[in-house]
Amino acid sequence: MTDLISIITSDDAARRDTALAAVCNSLSRDELLEAAASLDDFRRTSDNLYHRVRALFFLYSIHRYHLPPKLDNIAGHIPFEGHDHLLNRRFQEAIDVFLAEQDENGPGDGISSALAASYHELAFQTLADQVRKSVRTVRGNQWMFRMGHPADNPLRFRKELLDLSMGASPILRESTPVRMDLSHSGWSDIFFLGMDYPAGAKVVNVSVDLGVHGRDSETRPPVEAYLRVIDEPVIRLTSIDLKATATITSLGEVFDFAKDYLGLLKAAVISSGIVPPGIEGSGQRLEDLLASLLGPGKGFELVSSVNDIPKGSRLAVSTNLLAALIGVLMRATGQTTQLVGPLEESERRLVLARAILGEWLGGSGGGWQDSGGVWPGIKLITGEPAGEGDPEHGISRGRLMPSHHVFDEEEIPASARQALQDSLVLVHGGMAQNVGPILEMVTEKYLLRSDKEWQGRQQALNLLDELIDSLKKGDIKALGKATTKNFYGPIQTIIPWATNLFTETLIARAFQHFGDDFWGFWMLGGMSGGGMGFIFAPERKAEAQEKLAEIMVAEKRRLEHALPFAMDPVVYDFSINPKGTAAVLLGGTSPLLPPNYYQIHVPQLLGRQRESLSETQKQDLLHFRQAVDERKEFSRSIHELFDNILPKDEQKNATSGSLTELLRENGFDRELHEDIRSDIREGRLGLSQNRLSTTTTISDVEEDDVLDTLEIDTSGAEAVGQQALSNGEVAVITLAAGAGSRWTGGAGTCKALNPFAPLDGQFRTFLEVHLAKSRRATKSCGMPIPHIFTTSYLTDGPTRRFLDSVHNYQYPGPVLLSKGRSVGLRLVPTVRDLRFAWEEVAQQKLDEQQQKVRDSVRAALINWAEQTGECTDYTDNLPLQCLHPVGHFFEVPNLLLNGTLKYLLENRPQLKTLMLHNIDTLGANVDASLLGLHRMSGDGLSFEMITRRLEDRGGGLARINGMPRLVEGLAMPDEEAEFELSYYNSNTTWIDIDQFLRLMGLTRDDILADETAIIQRAVRELANRLPTYVTLKDVKKRWGHGQEDVFPVAQFEKLWGDLTILPEANAGYFVVPRLRGQQLKDPAQLDGWLRDGSADYVKSLCEW
Amino acid sequence: MKPAKALITSANPADKHLPLQTIVDAKGETKTPLQILLDEIFAAGLESAAVVIAPGETESYREAAGPHADKVEFIVQSEPRGYGHAIVSARDFTGGDPFLLLVGDHLFRSYTEKNCLEQILEVAEKEEATISGVQPTRESHLNLYGTVSASLIPGSKGLFDVSKIVEKPTPTLAEQELFVPGLRAGRYLCFFGMHVLPARAMDLLSDQLASLSPGESLGLTATLNHLANSGKYLALQINGKRFNLGRRYGILRAQLDLSLAGPHRDEVMAMIIETLASEG
């Protein structure tokens, strides 16, 4: 029997570090199943947390990567009951259901995908539970979970803050630097890694003061937290950078994190113990709690500022802000020895523990190095083995809390620190990124000890020593070499997605311009593209700051439609902070908050009756008035105040692409829009109306309904197909009109242009991959295949310019763009639809705290829809983000409307077949056998199906009332029905041109004669026969400095697959290999895609 | 190191009225808290007692001392410069002897035959050490008491070896530094309001006082820590209950507890029920 368990339990490190893949590759299907069964037994009985977790990852890996290729295309059935357990986070129950199905009906690709997902989720849940438990049991945090009544509150505000002898409350200000990490040794600061492999958890990070180059005259700690006592029994929170403020009057509001932009401040209030987590849901009054803290009738005000440092800087701004806020609150309540000045080491550690708690409460989670700004200077942070007395002892090898060694000047002399400052150019590239999936990938690879990645991790640890050594010597050139080696070596070995085309281009251009004076690249944080470091010879630093700003802006302009950018790039000035976090008490007769605080509050106070203002508020107005006269930093305040208060002419500021113009240019049908609005408002259209009637009978298709191309001899068909290709009878249509909402989280870039992965040594766009497949097919048949990309108002211009710039990737045949001829205007959704989407549709429940945050966000969004007006036009965003494409049904009719088909028929009269596919179906190519089968079938439309895996959601092929047809996921009357369907629609379709024209009541002559009116009528009539769906799409709205909000907006669409409703469409269905039909919809899929053979399959179809 | 002298501090301007209130003790007799405390002191076999008071309070305190007035010395603290200063004001009284230190705003009730003072004096007789009476106290009351970091002496009953004393800690600090193995989660050993201090304590306080600027206050915690660091320092878990009269409803709580333990229990119970009933 194959002993995978001993890899987990062995005391021998070499055995323990054996790569799972190395063992599994040589195992047969039955051996793998046997090993999986043993592992499952083992993980159920083991009382060691990390043994269990590792076994779970092994099981995930077996079912995700090793078993499927050995299953001989057996699809299998996924029981809905298991899926339902999975959605509700009952992972154990889900696994039991899936294993029972496997036992009863044998293994299959589908059931393995379900088991893989379940094991994966259970592994992460187990790890997250452990971190949470450790956070709660850190000494100094425990009491907060026991306190449930104001009378039990042991904290009191310090007397100094309650002292009104000068006529105004003093203000306590905490100033905190941010941290930049020289190396995180392969993301070893992820809690899970540090707790399992403390010896490998090592980070060097530096506390820095910042300024934006060209904007700020000097550097300073960018993070500030202010606290003062006020004469109202409330908590007033203000974020200066987010221009948000809230007055909290109840305990429930403190725990409502996502209600506004003040979640971080609320998390600080809770994790500092002021409103301890134990009091949540107690039904007690905030006023009573504040009375016990401060005395009756009093409250406090907490203000945050990050000096407009943009989000995504990779400098852990938000964690250090959380730490600063916690610090100031702890000082105020006597939880530190000193009210002012720096903190003691034990206090810093407690702030770290509280910040970890706060991040967990807020539903996020950084690494343990992120609070680095609390410590001074340059420090080595290391994982610590769990000893007796630690809450983790006996559970995990390492402790949750690392230890910090601050390098003194004997270790790293002042000259070396200066040299670092003189050479490093710190920037924010402007990209918007989500590091979450990367951290999951790292954890997974670590626990699987994937061979290459494990070696990379060891190499990263060696490089850390090299980095520290260079730093100690002040040899910044060597440091640059080491950070570059780190980036191109271990970092990308472990996670290839840590880099991207933007970063690579910046590095190449920096090298091109500065040659040997460019000493190296330094990736900050979890991935590149946002905060980054470039190291130069000191004499060229000033020049490099200017040049990099120029290069970054130019590259952003070039790539902004291809990659998601949240903001324009910036260059920072920085200096090493020698103190860490520190506080001062601002006293005197008129202590002031920062100028921008008053820009938020003064307009509100002026709008109220003077009698209704509290004494503090009256004083604030007075102090502000005095400051405007006397303080330099307030000199422009009155002007800015008026600028904020007085209305602006929005039209005057609008750019050329105003919404009205765009609507006119893109065929917006106002009449149709009003009809749809009215239908949605009256409840005739909506998410629930998308669904087929509950009386519909839905069943899986029968054997004869599909042609399983994997089971038949296709040599005859291949010959037919080859002949058609050689005759030039085929063209390819790639659907590239969409933004790929899931790919960029609604950022509104063009998915087709996204350089999504390095293939054969270069980042390739989706566009390039599709052309590379057609190039290869062209080469084999000897006749250039026309390749058409459909585009929309959003993607047409950028795609056109991009293709021009790359000369169509030297594609030998015609490359055509077919621009959409109609566009819709998004609507604010109805509360009915929002509730339906969130409450009626089954969806993945999140981890407890994250779910709380999500519920809070949703409550806020429902409020937004009500306040803004249900079904009103969605116009509060960039014009392009307000429009929507009207569904891919229209893409083929568009070829008729915009003259593309006419052009093709004129130049290629023999054209008979079109192959249409989605932009993300990377394995779809002009396969001669499938073409031949389509031709031989005589069908008007041949749709390609794949067997279903758990992640393939969104309908499929079904018998609806006895008739086979495609059914969209949003039309399924219930969730369960979808799980009875064996096949998922890849949407790749072979189209017989003449039959399609006949379906529309048209002929080739109508097309060639460009009979616009006839064609338009034909399109409208066909469209009217198809259902209209209302969908909710997430749209990002960007604001401030890299901030993004996501709004669900309503839009309508008609879908291509619904043509199968029409018997005269004469649709047929092929079952094709999964690798051909699967879709790449989410960047989180990339790693698996690269590892499971999908990428190799695609490469095998391409010729670059 | 059994002391023969007891010292009560009662000079804090905020609390000086407390020992002068009227209360019915566990025997059903009406007394002042000061008299109840003095009853226990002399019942425990101590020979003399002194009370440190604020200026101008001598007569009222003498009156409140009742039958003990003649055996008690009243020492005036010249200026309000803290707890430590109040103690050192009685240096002439304690002379070179160890002494029992009590606070005037506390009353005690023992759960055993021996009163609370007798319990600590019994240990003092056997041990050559500084001894503080302590009681496991919920973390929500930490802001009221001095708290010790200590470990149980193996084989002993309720006797701890003290390593550190922190005055009114936050629970955050208590969890990190004042954790006592064996106590329930969220409970710490807090002062009971009585200490047996060696004569050296007075020397230490005097030395510290000399190093202070005029007007600066002197506490006791630094001295206690010094004693813990330089010699044997024990904490005895008193088998009884302390009443901090200075807390909100402190006198009411003490009175209720004493009356329910005494001969008027039924009367008090009836009174409580009547009050509750009339409140609806």
CB-CB: which of B143, B176, B185 is closest to A154? Answer: B143
Quick check: A139 contacting B, CB < 8 Å? yes
A618 and A669 fall within a common domain: no
Strand A171-176 versus strand A223-230 pairing type = antiparallel
Quick check: B140 contacting A, CB < 8 Å? yes
Residue A143 to residue B171, Cβ atoms within 8 A: yes
* Chain B residues lying within 8 Å of A333, measured CB to CB: 170
φ and ψ at residue A343, rounded to 5 degrees = -95, 160
Q: Look at the block and give the residue holding tokens 């199905």.
A: A101
Residue A49 falls inside a structural domain? yes
For A781, A783, A996, the CA distances from A912, given in Å and listed in that order, are 16, 14, 10
Quick check: B247 contacting A, CB < 8 Å? no
Among candidates A714, A760, A715, which has minimal Cα distance to A1098? A760
Interface of A with B in 156-195 (CB under 8 A): 156
Domain range holding A82? 5-137
Mark residue A686 as left, alpha or beta (left: phi above 0; alpha: psi -120 to 50; beta: remaining).
left
Determine the residue of chain B that is closest to A147 in CA distance: B140
A951 and A823 fall within a common domain: yes
pLDDT of residue A138: 86
Residue A1013 falls inside a structural domain? yes
Task: Specify whether the CB–CB gap between B105 and B11 falls below 8 A.
Answer: no
Per DSSP (E only), the strands in A284-395 are 299-305, 341-342, 378-382
Residue B186 to residue A143, Cβ atoms within 8 A: yes
Last residue of a domain, one of A118, A137, A156: A137
Quick check: B167 contacting A, CB < 8 Å? no
Q: Which domains does chain B have, with CATH numbers?
A: 5-278 (3.90.550.10)
pLDDT of residue A748: 65
Residue A402 falls inside a structural domain? no
A899-923 burial code (b ≥16 CB/10 A, e <16) = bbbbbbbeebeebbbbbbbbbbbbb
A816 and A796 fall within a common domain: yes
Q: How many domains does chain A have?
A: 4
Q: What is the CATH number of the domain that holds A238?
A: 3.30.230
Residue B170 to residue A155, Cβ atoms within 8 A: yes
CA distance A301 to A323: 17
Quick check: B138 contacting A, CB < 8 Å? yes
Strand A378-382 versus strand A223-230 pairing type = unpaired
At B195, is the secondary structure helix, strand, or coil?
strand
* Chain A residues lying within 8 Å of B170, measured CB to CB: 154-155, 333-335
At A607, list the tokens.
Answer: 């709008």
A728 and A823 fall within a common domain: yes
Residue A1087 falls inside a structural domain? yes
A603 and A674 fall within a common domain: no
Residue A500 falls inside a structural domain? no
A15 and A164 fall within a common domain: no
A1094 and A1007 fall within a common domain: yes
CB-CB: which of A146, A147, A334 is closest to B170? Answer: A334
pLDDT of residue A656: 46
Quick check: B217 contacting A, CB < 8 Å? no
pLDDT of residue A363: 65
Size of interface A-B (CB pairs under 8 A): 48
Last residue of a domain, one of A116, A137, A158: A137
A357 and A287 fall within a common domain: yes
Residue A531 bridge partners (DSSP): A428
A765 and A638 fall within a common domain: no
- Residues A497-518 have pLDDT tens digits of 899 989 999 999 999 999 999 9
A969 and A1054 fall within a common domain: yes
Residues of chain A with confidence (pLDDT) below 50: 654-656
Q: Which helix (H) or strand (E) holds A987?
A: strand A983-992
Residue A28 falls inside a structural domain? yes
At A131, list the tokens.
Answer: 């971190």
A704 and A811 fall within a common domain: yes
pLDDT of residue A746: 60
A159 and A106 fall within a common domain: no
Quick check: A326 contacting B, CB < 8 Å? no
Determine the residue of chain A that is closest to B179 in CA distance: A139
Mean pLDDT of chain B: 92
pLDDT of residue B102: 96
- Residues A930-942 have pLDDT tens digits of 999 999 999 999 9
Residue A849 falls inside a structural domain? no
Residue A175 falls inside a structural domain? no
Report the Cα–Cα distance between both ends of chain A, in Å, rounded. 45
Task: Specify whether the CB–CB gap between A53 and A123 falls below 8 A.
Answer: yes
